[in-house]
A and B are shown apart, each in its own frame.
Chain A
Amino acid sequence: MKCTPTKIIFLLCVLTFLSLPESGIAGLSATDTTALHTRKWDKRVHLKYQRWEKLKPTHVKLQYAGGMGMFAVGAGWDYGKRCQWETDFLWGFLPKRYAGGKTRSTFTVKQNYIPWSVSINEQWAIEPFYCGLYMTTITGDEFWKKEPGKYPNKYYNFSTKIRPYIFIGQRFGFNPSHSLLRNISAYYEISTCELYLISKATNRYIRMKDILRLSFGIRMQLFRKR
């Protein structure tokens, strides 16, 4: 079976639907055991699901810019003792005016490491530093993952379709004490891709400001512990 981005997105939609609290299927499941890790300054909550329920995404994200199209939306999972890890799957689009007359889709896998969360009070928290990497791919015949066979072996030796990025960022979170929305946080990230780094490495002319990219996003933890 060929695993296209569309199929993966479809699967993600199904998973999101399954994890809705109102959904009848979810009601059949074993009771959730919620582990509360209350620290003096880190009040992040980790929902510890049992068995298949672990498939439920813990959050959804909307990102603006950052090499994954104009906007990208997706879902992800947080894990680790202090929710310090997050993995996201995002679908984005590049409007046709930026893509030569045809709208392009992007698909991104993103890994975040969020070492610290500092609670200001019960409602507000700052994640002062986090970092990670993502791989993004784009649709369109002009992009290739591997060089087409017409070229001599290792002619260009890179992929125009898949771009790895590294990033650092900050997040500002708010707990609205609402039954559906557990936490909402806004983030910004500064990122760059490998081709930019290669260009910078061998040229004085290329400055950091030429290769650093800014992106913004919102992360929502949708399901409040029951």
Chain B
Amino acid sequence: MNICNGSVFALAMSSCLAFLSAGCDMIEYHPYDLDINGETGINDKNIRRIESSLAGRKSISFAVISDTQRWYDETEDAVEAINSRNDIDFVIHTGDLSDFGLKLEFEKQRDILNRLVVPYVCLLGNHDCLATGEQVFSHIFGKENFSFTAGNVHFVCLNTNALEYNYTTAVPDFSFLKSEQDNFPAHAEKTVVAMHAGPYSEQFNNNVADFFEESITRFPSLQFCVYGHGHNVSVDEFFNDGILYYECASAKKRSYLHFTINENDYTYEVYSY
């Protein structure tokens, strides 16, 4: 009898708690508020995982996904497709996790991407800058400009959404590029540059496109650049300097890019899922 009463009481209490926690999740002051649920500081944590697991490697393999905004089901499928293989070391998301800059969108995208077996990093897209989006992005993911070293390759990730910033912020940030070059890691030999909006798109500060080219080609052994924003797969050599720019499609198009950087060359593939 006592046991029965106890279990009824426990059941009542746990359903009460479940109701309370569900109720708390449902209470929202504003869709653009900064009352963030769940994990934050994703990029820094994942960069530590990438750097420690790939230290000393001369060959690395990574996937690029991009523009997953409001395509949650497709993003889930991308995560599943990447998880189903075991030759990818990490994933780069080249921005636009949100469509409207809503807090909910960043939380939901993070929850899906957290199911990736391998670590991932996210770049800031132009949609991610809307309203309080950039602040939510910086809480959940991290800085707008950042870098990390995977094996012997240094990855420079840049905010290139100049149209969002009215000259109040340097976009792209050349002083960041300069400090990256001055403090280039001793164990790194090659460079890959990642960004959301590519040169000559309407978001890019095209007035400084040539200066940007000059600046990034100063990095040791620049391999190629990856970007998103255009929602299509494309390969361009924007500046006739031998540097290829690989564009990743949006999640709607259901494909991701896969790169393997070997000791003397690299391979590039487009995978549909």
Enumerate chain A interface residues (CB-CB to B < 8 A).
64-70, 94, 97-100, 104, 106, 138, 142-143, 150-152, 156, 158, 160, 163, 190, 193, 195-196, 198-199, 202-206, 209-215
Contact = CB atoms under 8 A, between A and B. Distances in A.
Contact of B34 (A67, A68, A99, A163): A99
B166 A195 contact: no
Contacts, number: 91
B74 to A, nearest CB: 9
Interface string B119-136: 000000001001110010
B112 interface: yes
Nearest to B136: A100
B28 interface: yes
A150 B205 CA distance: 13
Interface in B75-121: 76, 99-102, 104-105, 108, 112
Given A142-B131, A199-B70, A210 B30 contact: no
Given A143-B32, A214-B27, 17 more contacts: A65-B28, A67-B28, A67-B29, A94-B30, A97-B34, A98-B33, A100-B34, A104-B30, A142-B131, A143-B131, A190-B26, A195-B100, A203-B70, A203-B72, A209-B26, A213-B27, A215-B27
B213 interface: no
Interface string B7-44: 00000000000000011011111111111000000000
B73 A94 contact: no
A209 B22 contact: yes
Contact of B73 (A64, A97, A160, A204): A204
Given A98-B33, A205-B76, A213-B27, A142 B108 contact: no
13 contacts: A66-B28, A97-B34, A98-B29, A98-B30, A142-B132, A143-B32, A160-B131, A196-B104, A203-B70, A205-B73, A209-B25, A212-B26, A214-B26
Contacts of A158: 100
A45 B256 CA distance: 64
B101 A213 contact: no
- Which of A64, A98, A202 is packed against the most chain B CB atoms within 10 Å? A98
Contact of A98 (B35, B101, B127): B35
Contacts of A163: 31
Interface in B155-169: 163, 166
Contacts of A68: 30
10 nearest CB pairs, A to B: A205-B72, A214-B26, A160-B131, A98-B33, A203-B72, A65-B27, A70-B29, A213-B28, A100-B135, A195-B100
A115 to B, nearest CB: 25
A196 B31 contact: yes
Contacts of B163: 150-151
B202 interface: yes
Interface residues of B, number: 34
B141 to A, nearest CB: 16
Contacts of A160: 32, 100-101, 130-131
Interface of B: 22-23, 25-35, 70-73, 76, 99-102, 104-105, 108, 112, 127, 130-132, 135, 163, 166, 202
A98 B30 CA distance: 9
Nearest to A158: B100
Contacts of A66: 28
A202 B31 CA distance: 19
A39 B257 CA distance: 70
Nearest to A148: B166
Contacts of B73: 203-205
A195 B31 contact: yes
Contacts of A97: 34
Contacts of A206: 72, 108
Contacts of A204: 73
A202 B70 contact: yes
B108 A205 contact: yes
A69 B29 contact: yes
B34 A98 contact: yes
A11 to B, nearest CB: 24
A100 B104 contact: no
A213 B99 CA distance: 20
Nearest to B127: A156
Contacts of A203: 70-73
